[in-house]
Structure 1
Amino acid sequence: MSKLTGLTGALLALATPALAAETDWPAFGHDHSNRNASDLTQIDRSNVGQLAPAWIFQTGVTGYFQAQPVMVEGVMYLSTTQNHVAALDAKTGKVLWTYLHKPRTDKIFGPPSNRGVAVSDGLVYEATMDGRIVALDAKTGKLAWDKEAVRPEEGETETASGLADTLGGKPVQGSSRLGFKMPPLVAEGLVIVGVTGAGYGLHVEDPTGGLDGGAVVGIEGGYGRRGWLAAYDAKTGEERWRWYVTPSEGWEGKFSEATPDGEALHRDIAAEKAAAPQNRDAWRVGGGSLWMTPAYDPTLGLIYLGTGNPAPQNFGASRPGDNLYTMCLVALDVHTGKLRWYYQQVPHDEWGYDVAAPPFLLDGPNGTKAVASASKTGWIYVHDRATGALLTRSEPLLAQKNLFQPPSAEGTVVAPGPLGAVSWPPTAYDGHLAYVQVRHGATTYTVKSVPAGPGRPEIRFTETGTAKGEPSFSTLTAVDLNGGGRIAWSVRAGSRLSGGTLATAGGLVFSGEEDGHLDAHDSATGKLLWRFQCGAGISGPAMTYAIDGRQYVAVAAGGASYTQAAGFGTGDALVVFALPQ
C-alpha cells in the first residue's frame, strides 16, 4: 500500500471556534445506535463554506472504496477494497501501520469491497470477502487471530451446458458465493457478522459489478445459499452462536396475501400451495444475505438487523410461501442468537427489495423506545424495540408504480426497482429528522425461459432491465419520524446519491454523490451550503471527529458502479476536511 499525505495551502486567516474535548468516532454509525450523527458543532451553517482538505490518504488500491473510517484515541482505522487495513494519525494522516490481506481464494461474490472495521479492547476486527474474520493488534497491526468462517465457493454448482450462450453469451455463475461486506458489531465480548451473496442463486455475471443495466437475473432451481449471522468470541475467534435466515421449520409462513402494513401482494396463493409439496426443501438454498451492521440495545440485550432477498432472486415459482425470514427486520438475543421478533416487509419477494440499510435506534412517538428501518420499497418503518409492533410508517419517499405487481412475460414496470428507494447506505438521524438518500427510478421485470436441451429441463428466470421512459434521479430527503413520518423537505441531487448521510449538531447533513461531490446541506431546510469534488465517486458514508479542538470530516472516494459504467475511473483516496486554522 502507498500513501500520500498533504495539507491544503488555501488556508483562510480566520479564527476557528475551540472544542471542549476530543471526540472519537468509535464504531460504524458512530455507536451501537447506528444513527450516523455527531454532537460536534465547530463546523456549522455559518462556516461550512470554508471547509477544505486538511489531509489526504491514498491506499494505492482503486475501486469500490466503501468503508466508513473509525477513529479511537487519535488513531483512524480504515479498511480498503481487497480488505487491506491502515492505521493513521487522525490529525495528519501519517501512516502508523498497514495490514496487507492475502485472500485464500479469488472466488468471491461481487466486487472485493469492504465497508469498515470495528475496534474494541485493543483489537481491530475485519470480516473479509474471502470468508474470514481477522483480529489485528490496534497498536501494531499484527495478526492476533484469523478465523475462516466460510469458503466462498463451498457448495458451488456447475452451470448447465450451453446456458451462457442462451443468455446473451454472458458468463453464468453457479451457486452464490458467500463472504462478508459489513463492518462487524462488537458487543458483550462478541464479534457479530453476517454473510452476503446468499440470495442470488444461478445468475448472469454483471461486468459492471452491480445491478445496473439488468445483467443479473434470478433463475429457477436450487442454486442459492442459506444466509446466516454468527457471533465469535472477541478474544479467540471461536464461534459462539449462529442464526440462519431461512428456518428448517416454518419457512413457508402464512402464505400472506398482503404485507403486514396492508399492501396487496398480488400472489397466486393457490398455485403456490399446489407447488409446495415438491418444493418443501427450498429453505436449504433459500438465500437471505445480510448486508449491513446490526444496531444494538444493551438494555434489552437485542440486536436488530435487516435480511436480504430469497433465492432464486426475482423468481418465486420454486420457493412457494412467504420465504421466512428473508426481507425482514429481525431482533435477536445478543447472547444466544435466538429470534425474539420479526417483521417481514415483503413476503415472497420477487423484486429484490432487501432490507439492506442498517437499522437505527431512536426515541419514537410518545417517547417509545423504537428501531427504524429505511426500505427499498419506499417507506421508513418505525417499530417498538421490545415487541416489533409497527408504530408508524413514513409517507412514501418516492413515486411508487405497480408496487408488488409480479414479473410477467410481457415485462412488468415497477417503481422502485431492486436498487431501492433506499439500499445499504446508512440513514442519519439527529433526534428529530431522519436524512436518507432516495433513488427514484423504475425497473422492468420480465419472465423468460430457455427451452429444454440435452441433459437438462426448461429453465425459467426473471430478467431485470431499465424501464424506458421512466424518470431516474436521486433526492436527499428529510423525514420527521416523530411527526407521523411526514416528509420535512426533499431536494434533488445533481447526480446519483450514494454512500449514505452524516448529520451533525452544527445544523448540517453531509451526503455523497456518485459523480465525486461531497455535499453539505442545511439540516433544517435542505439548502445546499457547500460541495467539494473528491476526484472519484463517493460510495461510502462520511464521518466526523475532533482532535485538539479541531473538527474533521472524512469520506472515502473510490468510484461507484454508475460512474464506472459511464466511463469514469475509480479512486483510492480518503479525503479529510477541516476549517482553516
Structure 2
Amino acid sequence: MSRRLAAAALALAALVPCAAWSADWPMFGGDASNRHHADLAQIDRGNVARLRPAWIFQTGITGYFQAEPVIVEGVMYVSATGNHVAALDAKTGRVIWTYTHRVRTEKIFGPPSNRGVAVSDGLVYEATMDGRVIALDAKTGRLVWDREAVRPEEGETETASVLAAQLGDKPVQGSSRLGFKMPPLVAEGLVIVGVTGAGYGLHVEDAGGGLDGGSVVGIEGGYGRRGWLAAYDARTGEERWRWYVTKADGWEGDYRTTTPDGVPLHRDIAAEKAAAPQYAEAWRVGGGSLWMTPAFDPDLGLIYLGTGNPAPQNFGLTRPGDNLYTMSLVALDVRTGALRWHFQQVPHEEWGYDVASPPFLLDHATAEGPVKAVAQASKTGWIYVHDRATGRLLARSEPVIAHKNLYAPPTPEGTVVSPGPLGAISWHPVAYDPVAARAFAQVRHGAATYTVKTVPAASGRPEIRYTETSEARGEPAFSTLTAVDLGAGGRIAWSVKAGSRLSGGTLSTSGGLVFSGEEDGHLDAHDARDGRILWRFQCGAGISGPPVTYTVDGRQYVAVAAGGSSFTKASGFGTGDALVVFALPE
C-alpha cells in the first residue's frame, strides 16, 4: 500500500463544544463476547434518516475488502486486500501510517482477502494469506515481529493437478493451501489464530455466476490438510500451543446415524465401517478449516470457535466415521489449547456446512434461571445455544430457512439439497442485543446440486472420483435479514427479504437499529423491532465486511468496507476499495 492512498474528508467541521467522551470498537466483534452490538444511541430510529458520509478512505486495491475496522483511542486500524494495513484518525480519516505487506508466495488459498486485525498493548496483529502472523507498532506501523506459521503451498497433490487439467480452460483455485482469513484474538498475552483452506476442494470459476461465480469440487481420498488453531506469544511471536482439529486417535467417533439434536443423516454406516481399515490414516489430511475469530470468556478461561468441513470435501467414503472434531463448536482452554468440550453439528459432513459464523456469548434464560451460554448461528439454518462451561445444548431456534433433502448424500444423478454450502448463515457475524435477547442474522435461502463424477483411469493413473457442487437451477435464491428471539424459545420475530444478496454481517445498537450490507452496494439501517428499512446508502461497491460503530468526542460514527467480491462481479455489481464512514450532520 503506497503513501498515495487517500482519505477524503466529506464535510467535517469543528464540533460544538461539549463534554468529550469516546467509545471505541477495540476488537473484532466489539468485545470478547463477539456480540457485534454497541450500547450507543446517538444515532437512533428517529434520526437515522439524516445519516450521511462523514469521510471515506480508499485503499487503492479493488475487490475482496472484507475487513472489520478496529478503533482504539480514536485511531482506526484497518487491513485491506493483500494484508496491507492503515492507521487512520477515526474522526477525520486522516492517514497516520500505512504498512505494505510483501507476500513470500503467490500460492495462497482463495482470493487475497482478510477480515481484520487485532490491537493490544501498543501492537497491531495480523494473520496473513501467505501463512504469517505479524505484529506492527501501533504508533508507527513498523514491523515488530514476523512469524512464518505455515507455507501455503505445502501439501499440494498430483491428483488435484490432474483434475484441474480435466476441467478445461476454466480458472481453478484452491488446492487445500493453508493460510489465514480471520482477525486474531488477543487474550492472556497470546495471539490466537486458525488456518483456512484445510478442507477446501478446487474452486472452479464460471462467468455465468453460481456459487460465488462457479462451482466447488471435492476430490476422493488423500486430498486436504489438517486444520489447526495456534497461540503465539504477543510480545515475541513464539508459538505457545497448537490444537489440531482432526483427532489423531479415534477421529471416527461413534458412527452417528443422527445429528446430536436428532436430525437423520442418511449415512451408509455398514459401508463406512467396511472401508475404515483402508482409510485408517485419513485424519492426517482430514481438513477442518477455522474461519472466524473465537469468543472468549475470561472467567472460565475458555475460547469458543467453530470448525470447518472434513476433507475430502463432499466425499465421505474415504474418511469413514464422524470425523472428529470437524463441523463442531469447540471450547478450548485459552492458556493450553486443551479441549474442554465439543458439539459436532454435522457428523461425517458432505455438504460444506462449516461452523463458520463466529460464536457469541450471552446469558440465556432457562426454567432454572439464567445460564452463561454460547450461541452459534449455523449454515444448516438453526441457532444453537449451549452451556458455556459444559457444552450442553440448551436450545435450538426455529429454522431460519426451508430445508429440502437435508443431509441427503451426493449421487451420480445429482442431489438437490437446501441449504447449499453458502448457508443459511455463512461466516458473516450475527449481531446480538443482550437487552432484547434478540439475534439478527443475514440468511441466504437457496439450494445446491451435489453430483458425484468420475475421471477414467489413464496412462497408469487410477480412476479419480469427485463431487461437484453447483447452484441448483430453478430453486428459489434470495436473502433475508432475520431476527430470532433467543429469549422466547428461539422463535422467528421477523424476517424481511433483501433486494440483493446480503453479505458482511450485522451490527445492532441501543438506538434500536440493525445495520446490514447488501452485495449491490447498499448499507441498510433496519428498525430492530420489525425489520423496516429506515435508511439506506449506496456505497458504490458490494458490502463485504461487517459494519461497526464508535464515538469520538461525543459524535457517533458507523463504518463499513465496500469492496465487493467474486459474486458481485459475476452478477454485475461493482467492486471497490472504499471504507465509508457515516455520521449525523453537526
TM-score by length of 2: 0.96
Distance 2:213 2:56 in 1: 33
CA deviation digits over 1:356-407, x for unaligned, max 9? 0000000012311000000000000000000000000000001110000111
CA displacement at 1:568 relative to structure 2: 3.5
Q: Residue 404 of structure 1 corresponds to which residue in structure 2?
A: 407
AA aligned opposite 1:206: E
CA gap of 1:17–1:402, structure 2 versus 1, over 3 A, is farther
Distance 2:394 2:361 in 1: 13
Secondary structure at 1:368 match in 2:
strand
> What residue ranges of structure 1 are gaps of 5+ in the alignment?
none
Q: Is the 8 A contact 1:28 1:183 kept in 2?
A: yes
CA displacement at 1:452 relative to structure 2: 1.1
Distance 2:111 2:260 in 1: 34
AA aligned opposite 2:395: T
Distance 1:189 1:343 in 2: 27
CA displacement at 1:561 relative to structure 2: 2.5
Q: Residue 418 of structure 1 corresponds to which residue in structure 2?
A: 421
Q: Residue 358 of structure 1 corresponds to which residue in structure 2?
A: 358
CA displacement at 1:166 relative to structure 2: 3.1
CA displacement at 1:554 relative to structure 2: 0.3
Secondary structure at 1:489 match in 2:
strand
Q: Where do residues 171-570 of structure 1 align in structure 2 (5 Å cutoff)?
A: 175-201=175-201, 203-206=202-205, 211-366=211-366, 367-431=370-434, 432-570=437-575
Distance 2:162 2:178 in 1: 25
Distance 2:9 2:87 in 1: 19
Distance 2:230 2:68 in 1: 22
Q: Is the 8 A contact 1:156 1:174 kept in 2?
A: no
Cα RMSD for the two superposed structures? 1.9
Distance 1:436 1:371 in 2: 16
CA gap of 1:277–1:489, structure 2 versus 1, over 3 A, is same
CA gap of 1:414–1:138, structure 2 versus 1, over 3 A, is same
Q: Residue 3 of structure 1 corresponds to which residue in structure 2?
A: 5
Secondary structure at 1:365 match in 2:
strand
Distance 1:499 1:433 in 2: 19
Q: Residue 25 of structure 1 corresponds to which residue in structure 2?
A: 25
Q: Residue 90 of structure 2 corresponds to which residue in structure 1?
A: 90
Distance 1:108 1:427 in 2: 28
Distance 1:227 1:112 in 2: 19
Secondary structure at 2:326 match in 1:
coil
Distance 1:369 1:166 in 2: 52
CA deviation digits over 1:448-502, x for unaligned, max 9? 1111111211111111112121100000000011111000110000100000000
Q: Is the 8 A contact 1:159 1:172 kept in 2?
A: no
Distance 2:355 2:127 in 1: 20
AA aligned opposite 2:421: P
Distance 1:160 1:73 in 2: 48
Distance 1:360 1:199 in 2: 24
Q: Is the 8 A contact 2:213 2:570 kept in 1?
A: no
Q: Is the 8 A contact 2:417 2:448 kept in 1?
A: yes
Q: Residue 573 of structure 1 corresponds to which residue in structure 2?
A: 578
Q: Is the 8 A contact 2:219 2:467 kept in 1?
A: yes
Q: Is the 8 A contact 1:214 1:464 kept in 2?
A: no
Q: Is the 8 A contact 1:496 1:513 kept in 2?
A: yes
Q: Is the 8 A contact 1:437 1:474 kept in 2?
A: yes
CA displacement at 1:317 relative to structure 2: 1.2
CA displacement at 1:206 relative to structure 2: 2.8
Distance 1:411 1:210 in 2: 16
Q: Is the 8 A contact 1:427 1:500 kept in 2?
A: yes
CA displacement at 1:570 relative to structure 2: 1.4
Q: Is the 8 A contact 1:192 1:231 kept in 2?
A: yes
Distance 2:204 2:178 in 1: 15
CA displacement at 1:4 relative to structure 2: 3.1
AA aligned opposite 1:186: V
Distance 2:46 2:407 in 1: 45
Q: Is the 8 A contact 2:322 2:347 kept in 1?
A: yes
Q: Is the 8 A contact 2:12 2:54 kept in 1?
A: no
Q: Residue 132 of structure 2 corresponds to which residue in structure 1?
A: 132
Q: Is the 8 A contact 1:8 1:52 kept in 2?
A: no
Q: Is the 8 A contact 1:303 1:334 kept in 2?
A: yes
Distance 2:17 2:304 in 1: 38
AA aligned opposite 2:290: L
Distance 2:338 2:127 in 1: 22
Distance 1:39 1:18 in 2: 20
Q: Residue 55 of structure 1 corresponds to which residue in structure 2?
A: 55
Q: Is the 8 A contact 1:116 1:126 kept in 2?
A: yes
Distance 1:354 1:333 in 2: 22
Q: Is the 8 A contact 1:159 1:173 kept in 2?
A: no
Q: Is the 8 A contact 1:16 1:579 kept in 2?
A: no
Q: Which moved more, 1:347-356 or 1:152-161?
A: 152-161
Distance 1:231 1:365 in 2: 33
CA deviation digits over 1:18-59, x for unaligned, max 9? 787210000000000000000011000000000000000001
Distance 1:205 1:85 in 2: 30
Q: Is the 8 A contact 2:10 2:56 kept in 1?
A: no
AA aligned opposite 1:8: L
Distance 2:210 2:103 in 1: 22
> What residue ranges of structure 2 are gaps of 5+ in the alignment?
none
Distance 2:190 2:104 in 1: 25
Secondary structure at 1:435 match in 2:
strand
CA displacement at 1:143 relative to structure 2: 0.7
Q: Which moved more, 1:55-64 or 1:161-170?
A: 161-170
Distance 2:176 2:166 in 1: 20
TM-score by length of 1: 0.97
